[in-house]
A and B are shown apart, each in its own frame.
Chain A
Amino acid sequence: SQQGEEDPQALSIQEGENATMNCSYKTSINNLQWYRQNSGRGLVHLILIRSNEREKHSGRLRVTLDTSKKSSSLLITASRAADTASYFCATDRKETSGSRLTFGEGTQLTVNP
């Protein structure tokens, strides 16, 4: 399986509910990032968490990182229809240099009004 696997592949919830997406990876990382992609658009960076951090918040987003389990989760609280998008995790692997990231396959989130 590939580095950076999101789970679930698809998630459908009602507006106002929380959405949780998970990401697993295989090798040691410098940081892990989450991106959003609206239909027909490019990816947009949401949040970055370093390998020595365990939790980070940004507005309605909460990201956790467990390096012992090589996993991360993205929580979107009080979801809105506008949150409907694909969400990707991306890892900055220690074995690669510079700015290269390894992207997962994404979770398609649908928030129903």
Chain B
Amino acid sequence: DAGVIQSPRHEVTEMGQEVTLRCKPISGHDYLFWYRQTMMRGLELLIYFNNNVPIDDSGMPEDRFSAKMPNASFSTLKIQPSEPRDSAVYFCASSLWTSGYNEQFFGPGTRLTVL
């Protein structure tokens, strides 16, 4: 298995532009998570899905952030319009929940820089 795939790996954009981050979870996993990591705030959970349905989006910082999971093998995180404070590394992770075992598998991340 190729693991969790994220694209792009690096994104540099200007303030006000729309940014779309993409994630392909591990086949068969039923949970998908979007995290943001910065030096100041550490690792923050933004939103997570179970069987393609958003379960908790309370970590999404503002209405500028939105996430979708149209099918079991694809998810997007969109920021519109982007701001410099959105600069961070965004991770996608997936998991297969079985009783007692729920390790998460992380993608390599997308490093976003908003100028």
By a beta-carbon cutoff of 8 Å, the part of chain A in contact with chain B is 30-31, 33, 41-45, 48, 50, 88, 90, 92, 98-101, 103, 105-106
Bound-complex Cα distance A48 to B97 (A): 14
By a beta-carbon cutoff of 8 Å, the part of chain B in contact with chain A is 4, 30-31, 33, 42-43, 45, 48, 50, 55-56, 91, 93, 95-97, 100-109
Q: List 26 A-B contacts (CB under 8 A).
A: A31-B101, A31-B102, A33-B103, A42-B91, A42-B106, A42-B107, A43-B91, A43-B104, A43-B106, A45-B105, A48-B103, A88-B43, A90-B104, A98-B55, A98-B97, A98-B102, A99-B95, A99-B97, A100-B31, A100-B33, A100-B45, A100-B55, A100-B56, A101-B102, A103-B43, A105-B43
A99 near B100 with CB under 8 A, answer no
Bound-complex Cα distance A98 to B33 (A): 12
Min CB gap A72→B, angstroms: 15
List chain A residues, Cβ under 8 A from B109.
41-42
Q: List the count of A-B residue pairs having beta carbons below 8 Å apart.
A: 59
Interface of A is mostly: strand
Min CB gap B43→A, angstroms: 5
The 5 A-B pairs with the shortest beta carbon distances in the complex, nearest first, are A42-B106, A99-B95, A99-B31, A99-B102, A45-B103
Bound-complex Cα distance A44 to B91 (A): 12
A44 near B101 with CB under 8 A, answer no
Min CB gap B3→A, angstroms: 9
